[in-house]
Amino acid sequence: MKNMKVLITDYVHKILIEGLKANNFEVTYLPEIKLEETKKIILDYCVVVINTKTVMDKVMIDEAKNLKLIVRLGSGLDIIDLEYAKKKNIIVKNTPKGNRNAVAEHALGLLLSLFNNINQSSFEVKNMIWNREENRGIELEGKTIGIIGFGNTGSQFAKKLSGFDVEILAFDKYKQRFAENIRYVREVGIDSIFEESDIVSFHVPLTKETYHLFDLKFINKFKKSFYLINTSRGKVVNTKDLIMGLQKSKVLGAALDVLENEKIDTYTNEELTMYKNLFELKNVVITPHIAGWTKESKLKIAELVLNEIFTNC
């Protein structure tokens, strides 16, 4: 179909806009648009390209009476009411292959930073503090890493780890025999993750099943103290329980790219206190949901979105 109207509500590589226009799509590019503003204009569009800030819930979908296709920049589909979209005959696509390498590299970077006190020691040196013994690191070699979720990012993270002389365990509730041809991964049940892991890394979508999957009950199932990596979704981890785990040294450290509430200007007093307690811990490394946010992934995702629009329109 030609002359279709496409609304893009977040920053994308120019190749996407240029590619659409070259094929006679009418493109509205509004990367700074607010959710309420999107709601007011979405009626006019057949295709919408979104990121995390644009929630396609029942209310938004009802406003989008001409919508045929939703394309998600990246992987997470928790911002889209998938059942309602299907009921309205709206096609939903995402592009997890576009940033899976970026997320895997970032997860590895977070882990190395945590183990080697890179953030903390860099801050100290910039403040004229030269601590060597206090910043003695930990090596990855010989550690056992449990990966929960072996899709796009989980499999790529395992690949990055394969050269570090570590044992890699992988658990995926919805897959079987996924590691048969991967010599550096051992497919296991969840009990083996609890029994053997020194480090656990989440690579799961946010669903009713994974909401607060990581809580005190989960923490206490581990045979030994361990480190946490979360580059999936913030609400997979119960922050209060994570802090308790850290305070009790059952969780030895945490490397996080996501938080339960990433809208800092909306924090309640309770959340301010909670996050202040988390941020003050030296054995916690946090980045602002940028694991999949690279120059290369921006291009890859744009190419994938372009293909999805051409295929489905």
The residues facing 181 across adjacent strands are none
Q: Of 262, 270, 296, 308, which residue is the catalytic one? A: 262
DSSP 6-38: EEE-S---HHHHHHHHHTT-EEEE-TT--HHHH
Amino acid identity, position 273: T
Cα–Cα distance for residue pair 259/60, rounded to 1 Å: 25
Task: Print burial letters for 151-177: b (CB count within 10 Å at least 16), e (below 16).
Answer: bbbbbbbbbbbeebebbbbbbbeeeee
Contact call for residues 252 and 227 (beta carbons, < 8 A): yes
List strand residue ranges (DSSP E) for 31-111, in order: 47-50, 69-72, 91-94
In the residue annotation, 212 being an active-site residue is answered as: no
What DSSP line would sit under 163-206, residue for residue? TSS-EEEEE-TT-SSTTTT-TTEEE--HHHHHHH-SEEEE----
Q: What are phi and psi of 257, to 5 degrees?
A: -105, -5
Q: Any catalytic annotation for residue 262?
A: yes
* Torsion of the alpha carbons at 216, 220, 226 and 227, rounded to the nearest 10: -10
Q: Which two tokens stand for residue 276?
A: 């202040």
Catalytic residue among 26, 63, 124, 289: 289
Exactly one of 13, 72, 100, 233 is catalytic; which is it? 233
Residue 203 annotated in active site: no
CB 84 within 8 A of CB 61: yes
Query: Annotated catalytic sites, by residue?
Result: 233, 262, 289
